Amino acid sequence: MVSTLVTLGTVTTLVSASALPAPVSASTAGTGAPDVRRPVARYVWPLEPPVAVAAPFEAPPAPWAAGHRGVDLRAAPGTVVRAPAPGVVTFVGVVAGRGVVTLTHDDGLRSSVEPVAPVVATGGRVAAGDPVGTVSPDGGHCAADACLHWGVRRGDVYLDPVALVDGGPIVLLPTR
């Protein structure tokens, strides 16, 4: 079992993953059909651990409603930002005055990170852990503290990025 501790205010999150193989997106087991399943990518933190969560994911109750469509990770300006899973760089640019890099992963999910100073170009291929940029001092929505915002989407639905890391369940533990 692999475990990673994530600090969220006064709560520490333990993210665990078993030694089971990666989940798959479809199954043909027992049908006699060729196995054409597409494995779901294993995700890694876009920052080197240990990772401190400044603001967790908060799913909006409706597509137009308020929520926090990603997770904010504490990071100093200049910190290297890495690809959380293999894929293709599908957007590099400025949105609302902040540098953004978007990756379309091999499993079809899309990750966006901001604010970043990119070191990749649109169309480039990345492996999990490859540098895609550095945390930019251009601000963001973490007020006075610097952070990296990491959002993940399946189509138009936002997902909790923390749930993808290590592929395991999340357990909240009190801090000591």
| 2-19+41-174 carries CATH number 3.40.50.970 | no
The count of other CB atoms within 10 Å of the CB of residue 20 is 8
Q: Where are the domains of the chain?
A: 2-19+41-174
Residue 155 CB partners (closer than 8 Å, separation 6+): none
pTM: 0.72
Q: Which residues of 93-103 are buried (b: 16+ CB within 10 A; e: fewer)?
A: eeeeebbbbbb
Cα 147 to the center of its chain, rounded Å: 13
pLDDT tens sequence for the chain (176 residues)? 334 444 444 443 434 333 333 343 333 344 444 433 344 558 999 999 888 888 888 988 888 888 889 999 999 999 999 999 999 999 999 999 999 999 999 999 999 999 999 999 999 999 999 999 999 987 667 766 789 999 999 998 999 999 998 644 445 556 55
Task: Kindly write down the DSSP assignment for every residue of the chain, as one continuous string.
Answer: -EEEEEEETTEEEEEEE-SSPPPBS---TTSSS-----BPPPB--SSPSSEEEEE--B--SSTTS--B-SEEEE--TT-EEE-SSSEEEEEEEEETTEEEEEEEETTS-EEEEESEEE---TT-EE-TT-EEEEE-SS--SSTTS-EEEEEEEETTEEE-GGGGBTT--EEEEE--
Please check whether residue 133 is in contact with residue 118, taking contact to mean a CB–CB distance below 8 angstroms: yes
